[in-house]
Amino acid sequence: MILITNVVWADYEAHTPIPEDGAQSVDTDVILSWHSGDLAAMYDVYLGTSFYDVNEASRENPLSVRVSLAQDANAYNPWGLQSGTTYYWRIDSEQLGEIIIKGDVWSFTTAGPVEPGEIDHHPGHIIVKIDGEAGPDHVADVMNELEAVKIDTFSLIDAELWDISGGSFSVAEAVAAYAEDPSWVYFEPDYICQFYTIPNDPDYPTRLWGLPRICAEQAWDYETGNDVIIAVIDSGVDYTHPDLAANMWINPGETLNGLDDDGNGYVDDIYGCDFGESDGDPMDEYYHGTHMAGIIAACGNNGIGITGVSWHAKIMALKNCDVNLHPYQSYSIKAIDYAVDKGAKLSNNSWGSPNYSQALYDAIRIAGSKGHLFVASAGNDGNDIDATKPVYPASHDLDNIISVTATNQFDNLH
């Protein structure tokens, strides 16, 4: 069975019904559905794995996407989907054979079946903080037993990342065996999160309805933003995008010369870092982070594309996912560390997990003690994340976290 996660609502309040366990079969049960417009008679549906192709495809040039033309129903049942894949889709409204509204691009992600109680984590990584009074010989014995290798450190929280994939213990077995050992402050899996995607709004003011909703136009009469540094901890940012390039943060200690000029372990980290690949290039191949950056600080009043809330903020691109679009918490902790070290007082975090992590909590708490404000997504499901269905980091009880939920253009919760 293929399961669907990370479902995003679609045009005209379109939705995919989700049962209480938060997942459902894509093979037979998932229906992408939407409310019909007053004038629309039929719909063209575009579905594919490339955001760019789905956004640019047309009847004449379908590119790489699957196209279903002239749907006369308000629903579409996708078939033949692959597990572990992010799909993008778009609905165009038509009347008398003419397109009257080009739809926005929406997405959902398929994943393998998750058994009840199964921990969603990196298969070989453990985040460990060693107690100050722990004996070094005992720590060495545990590492030998697990055949663990220390592959990274987290200076902000004084912790380590161990890789046990070369040994006989699974992560679950290792945690069960050693998590209660008083030698550790914590000994936990490297949990995987998910990105919380929202629709692509290509043009303001006809599509970017959120800005009028927050009275941005009135605010711009007084202030259009300044050069505050905002760390976008996400899938990266396309720092060459014409509506973002002028507002990208530039690392003052780095020069594009193939060297690690600022001595932080990353070569040519001009615009930020890619912590999944441990390098200085945070280019976004998935466009989730680029979309977030555009909402925050797309260049304003330049006659191009859209307008961000702040016309002049500087975007620090911090990529917290691997090539499979998995945003592991270890990458996010490294990103928070980098943001604080480089002076970003604010970060945007459109990702989360139902799994509590003391390591991530500590990273955000310590960042807050250094004046860092952490904006976190509460998800797109409209759940009470305090009482019934927590989403971390948004559910962490910390003074420096602002939890943000998703609403549609009718002010209804997603």
8 A C-beta contact, residue 2 and residue 57: no
124-133 pLDDT per residue, tens: 999 999 998 8
Higher pLDDT, 351 or 19: 351
Q: What is the pLDDT of residue 203?
A: 45
pLDDT for residue 251 is more than 60: yes
Mean pLDDT, to the nearest integer, of 309-324?
Answer: 93
pLDDT of residue 384: 81
Q: Does residue 96 register a pLDDT over 90?
A: no
Residue 39's Cβ-count burial label (10 Å; 0-12, 13-18, 19+) is: exposed
What is the C-alpha to C-alpha distance for residues 168 and 176, in angstroms, rounded to an integer? 14
Percent of the chain, pLDDT > 70? 77
CA distance 350 to 376: 6
Whether 70 shows a pLDDT value over 70: the answer reads no
For the segment 209-226, what is each residue's pLDDT rounded down to a tens digit? Answer: 778 888 888 999 999 999
Is 1's pLDDT higher than 90? no
Instruction: Give the tokens for residue 286.
Output: 């998935």
Q: What is the DSSP annotation of 226-265?
A: ---EEEEEES---TT-TTTGGGB---TT--SSSS-TT-SS
Give me the phi and psi of 284, to 5 degrees please: -100, 110
Q: Are 283 and 221 in contact (CB under 8 A)?
A: no
Give the tens place of pLDDT for each residue, 7-26.
333 332 233 333 333 333 33
Q: How would residue 114 be classed by pLDDT, with cut points 50, 70 and 90?
A: very low
Q: Of 190 and 97, which is predicted with more confidence?
A: 190
When pLDDT is averaged across residues 248-269 and rounded to a whole number, the result is 96
Mean pLDDT for 48-54 is 77
DSSP run (H or E) holding 358: helix 358-369
The CA radius of gyration of the chain, in Å to the nearest whole number, is 22
Domains delineated in the chain: 3-111 (2.60.40.10), 121-191 (3.30.70.80), 194-404 (3.40.50.200)
Separation between Cα atoms, residue 152 and residue 41, nearest integer Å: 57
- What is the rounded average pLDDT of the residues 145-173? 94
pLDDT digits (tens, 9 = 90+) for 283-307: 998 888 998 999 999 998 888 888 8
| Residue of 303 and 35 predicted with greater confidence | 303
Average pLDDT over residues 325-343: 95
The answer, yes or no, to whether residue 369 has pLDDT greater than 70, is: yes
- What does the DSSP assignment read for 255-301? -SSSS-TT-SS-TT-SSEEETTTTBS----SSSHHHHHHHHHHPPPS
pLDDT at position 115, please? 43
Q: Cα separation of 212 and 309, whole Å? A: 10
CA-wise closest residue to 376 among 400, 345, 408, 341: 400
- Kind and range of the H or E run holding 46: strand 42-48
- pLDDT of residue 312 exceeding 90, the answer is yes
Alpha carbon of 370 to those of 6, 205, 252, 363: distances in Å? 32, 38, 20, 11
